[in-house]
Amino acid sequence: MLTRRLMLATGLAALAMPAMAEEPPIFATNRLAIQGYDPVAYFNQGKPVEGSEAHQLMWMGATWRFSSAANREAFERNPQRFAPQYGGYCAYAASQGYVAATDPSAFTVHEGKLYLNYSRRVRGIWEQDIPGHISSADANWPKPLKN
């Protein structure tokens, strides 16, 4: 578990509060998964790329946007391959047993999977032990959605 000092230093103190109600399975801001960024672009361009309203679809209760029809079609064929782990919630938070929002620019592609974090600072903590944090998050998930 995070120490109080680490939580304050990383800006996560407010996020450590348990959710008051069940969270949706996909983190979405204004119903947009990944704040409208293209999940496929993380894999084929190696960076966050804004999606377009012209190339969007509904999946798991959220709207997903893509930068091209080809990326949308790739996602449609295999959404599990491209969707961020832990429903797009902060992967580090999931490893600690809670949910937190994410910043599309705070990402890691590790062993063919997309992980998002609350901020670039939190991504730095995540990167110190990616396999360990994944193991913890996998063991916790999806329990944090129900806090």
pLDDT tens figures, 47-104: 999 999 999 999 999 999 999 999 999 999 999 999 999 999 999 999 999 999 999 9
Q: What is the pLDDT of residues 95-145, one digit of tens each?
A: 999 999 999 999 999 999 999 999 999 999 999 999 999 999 999 999 999
For residues 34 and 49, is the Cβ–Cβ distance under 8 A? no
| Residue 118 falls inside a structural domain | yes
In which residue are the tokens 């679809």 written? Answer: 57
| Residue 16 falls inside a structural domain | no
| Residue 3 falls inside a structural domain | no
The whole model's pTM is what? 0.86
How far apart CA 65 and CA 109 sit, in angstroms, is: 19
For residue 39, give both structure tokens.
């999940």
| Residue 2 falls inside a structural domain | no
| Residue 69 falls inside a structural domain | yes
| Residue 122 falls inside a structural domain | yes
| Residue 112 falls inside a structural domain | yes
Range of the domain at 129: 22-146
| Residue 17 falls inside a structural domain | no
DSSP 26: S
Task: Provide the domain count of the chain.
Answer: 1
